[in-house]
Amino acid sequence: MAYCGKIWSWTVTRQLFALLCFIAVVAVLAVLENSTQVWLNACEAIAGIGLGLVVFQYITKRWQNVNLAFSLLLLIIIGYGVLRSYIFAPSLEEISRQMTPMYDTYLKRISGLKVDNARIKWVQSFMLTYQTAIWGTMQITAAFLGYLIYNKISFLKHQVRLIRVPFACIYLMLAALALSLNPATSVLGVNLLVCVSMLYLIQGTGVLSFLWGNFFARSRMLRTLFIITIIINYPVLILIALLGLLDAWFDFRKLTKMEEKHESDSN
């Protein structure tokens, strides 16, 4: 995403050709190594660096809508994250087994915790069960950081305070909630619910920036302390995500009216 500003002048044909070349090179490297772990990394590179970049760039160039492009990129990450957990399940289990010594080392450092094979297996089972949520959370956070860098280097800027995911994501949130309440699909539902909640956490961050951004911008120390306080307090993160979810209905920033006024302005 940070590199998108560098290829803004490229035509869609050139971008697609670059994507195909990228896929070909990654596929050749994966074939030469021929292991499931390498194929996992190759698919993640193609889905994220390749396809995600082309979609983001195409939408921003055609409609000049960074907000829509960023939202679709996040949805691509979530969709691939769900497919990833099923397609590469054996590979992920193998990676988990290889990480057993690392789990053992870190758990021994926790004072008062008796490390045994059962506890290590529980950690591995937890990581595998909710790896879609864990992986998706990290990737969405990385995409958000890329979005911030993009705003710094691209002429087509979009302020964080104006971030708003499409209203249709509400239905995805409701579907994830319904799946999580069903015992047969609870694992998929919880993983999907965590990933979709990240979308509204970002939107809630935009609401906070819109309401209090100017106040905290006056003091770098206050802004830093505020960010640290949010990161280390999970209940605060949940409240911010809930704020972003409610913003889909109540439009606290009145962005709809701002867009209508912008479209009706002849200047």
The DSSP annotation for 165-177 comes to --TTHHHHHHHHH
Same domain, residue pair 38 and 111: yes
Check if the beta carbon of residue 153 is closer than 8 Å to that of residue 2.
yes
| 105, 123, 158 - which closes a domain | 158
CA dist 158 and 71 (Å) reads 13
Same domain, residue pair 263 and 195: yes
Domain, as residue range, for 93: 1-158
Check if the beta carbon of residue 42 is closer than 8 Å to that of residue 65.
no
Check if the beta carbon of residue 163 is closer than 8 Å to that of residue 203.
yes
Mean pLDDT, contiguous 10-residue spans, the chain (267 residues): 70 84 91 86 86 86 88 94 91 86 79 74 90 94 90 80 93 96 95 96 92 73 75 87 94 78 54
pLDDT of residue 217: 67
Structure tokens at 125: 């089972």
Same domain, residue pair 265 and 175: yes
Same domain, residue pair 59 and 125: yes
Same domain, residue pair 148 and 47: yes
Same domain, residue pair 6 and 90: yes
Other residues' Cβ atoms within 10 Å of the Cβ of residue 209: 18
Same domain, residue pair 129 and 255: no
Same domain, residue pair 177 and 198: yes
pLDDT of residue 132: 95
Q: What torsion, rounded to 10 degrees, do the Cα atoms 62, 66, 67, 71 define?
A: 80
Check if the beta carbon of residue 1 is closer than 8 Å to that of residue 149.
yes
Other residues' Cβ atoms within 10 Å of the Cβ of residue 254: 12
| 158, 187, 204 - which closes a domain | 158
**pTM, whole model, 2 decimals?**
0.86
- Report the domain count for the chain: 2
| 158, 189, 208 - which closes a domain | 158
pLDDT of residue 261: 64
Same domain, residue pair 126 and 174: no
Other residues' Cβ atoms within 10 Å of the Cβ of residue 170: 15
Same domain, residue pair 142 and 179: no
CA dist 47 and 5 (Å) reads 20
What's the number of CA atoms in the CB half-sphere (13 Å) around residue 78?
A: 22
CA dist 266 and 223 (Å) reads 38
Structure tokens at 29: 């490297």
Inter-CA distances, 72 with 19, 64, 76, 199, 204, Å: 18, 14, 6, 11, 18
pLDDT of residue 28: 93
What's the number of CA atoms in the CB half-sphere (13 Å) around residue 173?
A: 18
Same domain, residue pair 16 and 109: yes
Same domain, residue pair 129 and 259: no
